[in-house]
Amino acid sequence: MNVFVVEDSGIDYPLIENVFCPKDLPDKEKGYQLFWTKSKHEATRLLADKPPGFFDIGIIDIKLNEGDDGNRDGLDVAQIILGNDNIAFPLIIVTKNFKVEEYARETEQMGIDSRYFLSKSILVDNRFVFMRRIYDAIDNFKVREMTGEEYVAARDRKIGIIGIDNVRDFYRRNEILYVTSVTKIEHVEHFTNKTTGSIIVTANLKAIHSSYNIGHFKRRIRSNFRNFIGIDQSYLINLEMIKLVDGVRLVFQTNEQIKPDKYEKKLKYIELSGTAQTRLRHEHIFI
């Protein structure tokens, strides 16, 4: 998972780093990669250098020059990110100016919910809550809010998913196991063409290939079915269809009437990274 960090303080950045990558965590379980910028200029340059969809979450400080009382460069960076649909990704504001109501109102006007406007003290006092805010921001970015009545009414709703064959099949909430991102690389003469898409795997172990990236499905599936969560950068999984976890392998419940072939058997499970395992613990899937 790629984390975009805008923080000018060399004292505060290690606190952010330690939340995502604790020093006592084995390297093989560290699933976050942090990209640290210290100024508005560095931040905008990094955004320009990375392709759309590269960053999963952003952690931004408001003041990027503590010696300047009027500095609010962090908010300018946030506006650049959220103002461009091609690069937009969820943001968390972490600031020492938590009590400044003007900043809180301005971030909310940008589309950053007040629950993602946090005091820097949380990095020391309650790292668990901070990580919950991270997951919540990722899961609910651009997801349509749903009332309790709508959620109940949607339990038996079907959603149509179109594949690369332009056929739209309809599925209920527990007829989809997971969505995963795929990358296709083609070498043509002296050029390399890299395209991303997704595969939607159903309970009948049917793999639906789509040219849309996983972000497209995350927002639309979660706007209808809240039993899905994102893990790592590459999966959107159905929590209600988990059968068991064997080591680092997560196995899904499938339609027992089918007799899968060798390829289809591989669709029944995914391999969990350290980040994914941590996410499932935070969701109390592992107890």
Of 218, 214, 186, 184, nearest to 199 by C-alpha is: 214
Range(s) for CATH 3.40.50.2300 in the chain? 2-140
Question: What's the maximum distance between 2 C-alpha atoms anywhere in the chain?
Answer: 68
Per-residue model confidence (pLDDT) at position 35: 95
Contacts of 181 (CB under 8 A, 6+ apart): 196, 197, 198, 213, 214, 233, 234, 235
Task: For residue 49, report the phi and psi dihedrals to the nearest 5 degrees.
Answer: -80, -20
Task: For residue 219, report the phi and psi dihedrals to the nearest 5 degrees.
Answer: -65, -40
Per-residue model confidence (pLDDT) at position 43: 95
Name beta bridge partners: 36: 5
Provide the whole-model pTM: 0.67
Q: Are strands 249-252 and 242-246 parallel, antiparallel or unpaired?
A: antiparallel
Per-residue model confidence (pLDDT) at position 98: 73
Query: Could you tell me the mean pLDDT of each successive run of 10 residues in the chain, 287 residues long?
Result: 91 90 65 90 94 89 83 92 88 85 87 89 88 85 68 73 80 90 63 71 89 80 83 85 88 76 79 80 70
Per-residue model confidence (pLDDT) at position 153: 65
Q: In what order do the strands lie in the sheet with 117-119?
A: 33-37, 2-6, 57-60, 91-95, 117-119
| b/e burial code for range 206-241 (CB count within 10 A of at least 16 → b) | bebebebbbbebbebbbbbbbebbbbbbbbbbbeeb
- Residue 120 is which amino acid? K
Range(s) for CATH 2.40.50.1020 in the chain? 152-282
Look at the domain 2-140 and name its fold.
Answer: Rossmann fold (3.40.50)
- Report the CATH architecture of 152-282: Beta Barrel (2.40)
Per-residue model confidence (pLDDT) at position 148: 64
Cβ distance 118 to 130 under 8 Å? yes
